[in-house]
């Protein structure tokens, strides 16, 4: 199969603007209640999100996508790669959870062999799990700085193949439920909790409208690394393109239009292609460090990881994960829903997001203010890291101390959530 090669991941001449280091105006430049041991986010970048199988990245290998963001994050802040203590990459579909792919991307990025690298697969939360893993290594004292990444080529990865499993799974209800297609779990939530087709379609339209607005205002430009690659057409000829805009955003989406779509998973169901996440390709990377080390190197502080949680839920209702994980993370942080300014909740399906938002009493205006996976797409291993980048850039635009949450449901029945603080100017 023909594989496209990324020619370059373009950066502006000055890179992304540096963030202020003066977190909240106290002694030593740190915020009240801050600690030299805080786990802080320095910077993050992502690729544009391409349409799987038919978008600009359909033949671009995941190591090339990953390399583009890995290089960009360090170049933006002027950090030599040998300063990293570890690199963790979230991936779901590539063989071996992308272990070889990640190390190849590591070397394509010019990283030295002395810096270790590994992958993690917690399905839809893999990118966020990479953040948790690097944060854990920092908290344990193993490292001071690390790179948490996520990448997925759903164009080139194999979906729906769980590998060899015990024949006994049919004897245990929960084990058998792990094999339920994700679309059916969406239908289960809609039926069990009364989430109507009208609510799902209205939420999907809102996601598209918010993403279209953000795109038109250039709100994603600061977080996206433009990637130049070669695209092969059906006749076999190639052309060079630079990909710098998310491909899935459909500004003209309407409720009337979505209402005409047929159910995708059950003849009498309510989940459609229009109110579900898009199948996508993309990558993201987040630079994380111990506050003391970050400040000693003169690096910026974009955000502080205040809490994290992963929970289990019934596999046949996996979409309820955020409704359980978010309260767990907020309790750790000593915060409530009312304290949070922005919730980035992955839109695996409109049914499950609507349920979680209503269950937790989250004002809709706080949810995915720049659209979510229904509009932008959901490259499985990438999404969690991408959400962190999008969240912290949105909090920074607001210009004052603020809190945000990243959360998602996870196949086979889990949910994950993290609480971040933007320290303000």
DSSP line for 90-134:
E-SSSGGGGHHHHHHHHHHTT--TTS-EEEE--GGGHHHHHHHHH
Buried (b) or exposed (e) across 379-388, using 16+ Cβ within 10 A?
A: bbbbbbbbbb
- What pLDDT shows up at residue 285? 98
Of the candidate ranges 19-23, 60-64, 106-110, 209-213, the one whose mean pLDDT is the lowest: 19-23
- What pLDDT shows up at residue 100? 97
Question: Domain coordinates of the chain in residue numbers?
Answer: 6-158+277-422
The fold for domain 6-158+277-422 equals: Peroxisomal Thiolase; Chain A, domain 1 (3.40.47)
**d(C-alpha 58, C-alpha 402), whole Å:** 37
- What pLDDT shows up at residue 22? 29
What residues are annotated to the active site? Answer: 124, 378, 409
Task: Return mean pLDDT, the chain.
Answer: 92
- What pLDDT shows up at residue 356? 98
The alpha helices in 237-296, defined as continuous H runs, are 255-258, 291-296
CB atoms inside a 10 Å sphere around CB 358: 15
- What pLDDT shows up at residue 229? 87
Q: What are the pLDDT digits (tens) for 286-337? A: 999 999 999 999 999 999 999 999 999 999 999 999 999 999 999 999 999 9
Segment 27-41 shows an average pLDDT of: 73
CB atoms inside a 10 Å sphere around CB 33: 10
Q: Which percentage of the chain shows pLDDT scores above 70?
A: 92
Quote the distance between the C-alpha of residue 351 and its chain's center.
Answer: 19
**d(C-alpha 293, C-alpha 92), whole Å:** 31
Q: Is the pLDDT reported for residue 26 higher than 90?
A: no
- What pLDDT shows up at residue 262? 97
Joined tokens for residue 394: 């949105």
- What pLDDT shows up at residue 231? 80
Segment 379-408 shows an average pLDDT of: 97
Q: What are the pLDDT digits (tens) for 224-276? A: 999 998 887 777 788 889 999 999 999 999 999 999 999 999 999 999 999 99
Q: Is the pLDDT reported for residue 159 higher than 90?
A: no
Confidence of residue 31 (pLDDT cuts 50, 70, 90): low
Confidence of residue 27 (pLDDT cuts 50, 70, 90): very low
Joined tokens for residue 331: 């309790």
Segment 408-418 shows an average pLDDT of: 98
Judged by DSSP in three states, 72 sits in helix
Q: Is the pLDDT reported for residue 99 higher than 50?
A: yes
Q: Is the pLDDT reported for residue 206 higher than 90?
A: yes
Confidence of residue 85 (pLDDT cuts 50, 70, 90): very high
**Would strands 303-312 and 414-422 be described as parallel, antiparallel, or unpaired?**
antiparallel
Q: At 394, phi and psi to the nearest 5? A: -65, -45
Judged by DSSP in three states, 163 sits in coil
Report how far apart, in Å, the C-alpha atoms of 246 and of each of 98, 227, 287, 373, 416 are.
23, 12, 22, 11, 25
With CA atoms as reference, report the closest residue to 419 among 383, 399, 395.
395
Segment 382-388 shows an average pLDDT of: 98
- What pLDDT shows up at residue 14? 35
Segment 179-197 shows an average pLDDT of: 96
Buried (b) or exposed (e) across 5-15, using 16+ Cβ within 10 A?
A: ebeebebeeeb
CB 332 within 8 Å of CB 419: yes
Confidence of residue 152 (pLDDT cuts 50, 70, 90): very high
């Amino acid at each position: 199969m023909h594989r496209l090669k990324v020619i370059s991941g373009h950066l502006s001449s000055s890179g992304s603007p540096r963030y202020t280091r003066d977190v909240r105006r106290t002694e030593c430049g740190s915020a009240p209640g801050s600690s030299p041991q805080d786990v802080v986010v320095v910077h993050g970048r992502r690729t544009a999100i391409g349409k799987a199988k038919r978008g600009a990245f359909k033949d671009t290998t995941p190591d090339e996508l990953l390399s583009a963001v890995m290089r960009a994050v360090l170049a933006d802040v002027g950090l030599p790669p040998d300063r990293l203590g570890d690199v963790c990459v979230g991936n779901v579909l590539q063989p071996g959870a992308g272990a070889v792919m990640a190390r190849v991307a590591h070397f394509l990025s010019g990283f030295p062999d002395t810096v270790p690298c590994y992958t993690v697969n917690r399905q839809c939360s893999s990118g966020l799990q990479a953040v948790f893993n690097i944060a854990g290594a920092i908290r344990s004292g193993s490292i001071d700085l690390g790179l948490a990444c996520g990448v997925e080529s759903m164009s080139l990865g194999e979906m729906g193949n769980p590998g060899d499993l015990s024949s006994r799974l049919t004897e245990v209800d929960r084990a058998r439920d792990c094999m339920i297609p994700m679309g059916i779990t969406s239908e289960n939530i809609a039926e069990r909790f009364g989430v109507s087709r009208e609510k799902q379609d209205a939420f999907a339209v809102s996601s598209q409208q918010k993403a279209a607005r953000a795109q038109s205002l250039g709100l994603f430009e600061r977080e996206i690394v433009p990637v130049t690659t070669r695209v092969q057409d059906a006749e076999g000829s190639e052309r060079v393109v630079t990909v710098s805009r998310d491909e899935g955003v459909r500004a003209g989406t309407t409720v009337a239009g979505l209402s005409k779509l047929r159910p995708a998973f059950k003849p009498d169901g309510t989940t459609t292609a229009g109110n579900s996440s898009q199948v996508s390709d993309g990558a993201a990377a987040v630079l994380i460090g111990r506050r003391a080390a970050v400040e000693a190197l003169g690096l910026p502080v974009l955000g502080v990881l205040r809490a994290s949680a992963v929970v289990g839920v019934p596999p046949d209702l996996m979409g309820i994960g955020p409704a359980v994980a978010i309260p767990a993370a907020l309790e750790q942080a000593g915060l409530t829903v009312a304290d949070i300014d922005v919730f980035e909740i992955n839109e695996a399906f409109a049914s499950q997001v609507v349920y979680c938002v209503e269950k937790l009493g989250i004002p809709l205006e706080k949810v995915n203010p720049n659209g979510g996976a229904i509009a932008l797409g959901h490259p499985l291993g990438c999404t969690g890291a991408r959400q962190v980048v999008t969240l912290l850039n949105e909090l920074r635009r607001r210009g004052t101390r603020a809190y945000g949450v990243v959360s998602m449901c996870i196949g086979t029945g889990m949910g994950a959530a993290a609480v971040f603080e933007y320290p303000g100017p």
